[in-house]
Chains A and B, each alone.
Chain A
Amino acid sequence: MQSNVLPRSQRLETLKRLRDFFNAHNSQTLKQAYDAFSLEHSIDEDELEALFNRYFVGPMEPVADPFASVYLDDPQSVMTQSTLHVRSLYETMGFFYPLKNIVPEDHIGVELDAYYQLIYLEEVKNVAYLSELRYYFFHEHIAVWMPQLIERAMHGRSEGDNAILFILNELKSFLIRETTTTRSHE
């Protein structure tokens, strides 16, 4: 098991890159986040953004909506029970969310941010107070829906969309590694 776990700094760094990628708001921040992975496949900034929008943003129906609610509750809705469950978790973890009621809490970028901060707390600050909640957040929520997003995106993938494929693989590997680290004792 232990061999699957990334070195601490790398684990955090991967998480941070994934977070930044999915939270990118424009072509520059997206390209920066993409380049941070140092992948072999290079891609033009505008091309990358067009791809990213087609997969995760819109305005047309994205290949894979980036919200947990779509996979867990209702394929067409945001701000569902799952979203409010994540809201409750964040609040219990001591987070304040400035975009509350604007961008749903279960957006992939927001969840990766929360997860990053929780890992940071444990790894950098050696604070374990939120660990159990973090495990719960991962196993009962993230690990349930993000693989579905990956699967949907892979399924809807077009030939040549390698940049997205690389990111999805990074996310997938990350999830697999995290999955092996903890489980519920029930």
Chain B
Amino acid sequence: MRKDENQPLIFEVSKEGRIGYSLPVLDVPEVDLEDVLPADLIRAEDPDLPEVAELDIMRHYTALSNRNHGVDSGFYPLGSCTMKYNPKINESVARFPGFADIHPLQDESTVQGAMELMYDLQEHLKEITGMDEVTLQPAAGAHGEWTGLMMIRAFHEANGDFGRTKVIVPDSAHGTNPASATVAGFDTVTVKSDENGLVDLEDLKRVVGPDTAALMLTNPNTLGLFEENILEMAAIIHEVGGKLYYDGANLNAVMNKARPGDMGFDVVHLNLHKTFTGPHGGGGPGSGPVGVKKSLLPYLPKPVLIKTEDGYTFDDDRPDSIGRVKPYYGNFGINVRAYTYIRSMGPDGLKAVSEYAVLNANYMMRRLAPYFDLPYDRHCKHEFVLSGRRQKKLGVRTLDMAKRLLDFGYHPPTIYFPLNVEEGMMIEPTETESKETLDAFCDAMIQIAEEAENSPETVQEAPHTTVISRLDEAQAARKPVLRYQKEKAE
């Protein structure tokens, strides 16, 4: 990549008179808009969209892609996000015309293949999670959280229980957990972590009560640690009549080792764009299926896909359902990819996935532990969190180290999350990386730790090799420029 001037915006390469399309030839009489629309409703001024020929469009986006780092570009150990390899067969299958070019409202008899795939995916996810039923409707993890919480709310309300206004989340929880609780109409209560990085049982006992609707838990938690006291926690919550919600973002650690359904969870959402290789797409589309136990079955969102003697059908007659959470049936295209992946791996493969994900994380943790603070020194699962406290004392912040990693061609770990670790760096290698890759990354981290001691400015001034240096985020927020305006280009 060259370090050069601005990459022009597509609007800046636009020139009147150029086109980049090939519409069908109009084979019916033309219309004059004045004849068919009230004058007031006819667009007076064309939208200022770019006018660019096809090659220049391709060059523009190719140039942009060259300024972007994906898993295929290099190692991407972004904790909590499971940036594993995105298999190419998934992409091919999702583009089969029989999956890509079908309409959600076609007669069911004409889409039985798609419905069979969805049904079989649900069956696979039920087995993997140990839940009684799965809906594929939520579009992403956060959407699944909200869907699950709405079901919990419906359950309590159906029992005449309107006083359950609180959802408990650990201080290490992902931000979507409390945010989803709010959208579902609950107040959030935070429960503290103990010195081992696990939910503090005493604190949990203190915050539960008759107003507890649910506890949301990620297990392994966002520190990459398995909540060993899960059964005790389940008992505490269930005893007061609350429900236990499983944030499945971290399922990659425990496939074939432990299932949320067997740990006492009543609801679980999965991020198919993490464990099950839906590509992250630069920020989606994802897919966030939700699994539930029996007590919540009546509340599943509409419609529910069922299998009958005559084939598959969408059941809309669900009087107790929380309603529709999304038009149609979820992000089918992502579900096709996840299904293809599960079928490529099989049961043995999925088990190996979790084993290697955990092996890789522990290996890196042990290699890096001498050079950084490791706040919770025990076997991790698929990810671990280091603290940059030691380097901070030298004037080098975690942000600086993250930026320095860019010079080595790596995407940095998730930083400053979870919130309960000072200067945190959350590293998730995934199982699809080779030992050579892990070693090279560790070597880079160790070099950076040494630089922090010997030449801190090298780290503080990083990155040195990217197409652009650190950006002024304060200015972006103070004077927001959220779109291109032509006048300015002159």
A, B assembled together: no
Q: Give residues in B with beta carbon < 8 Å to A.
A: none
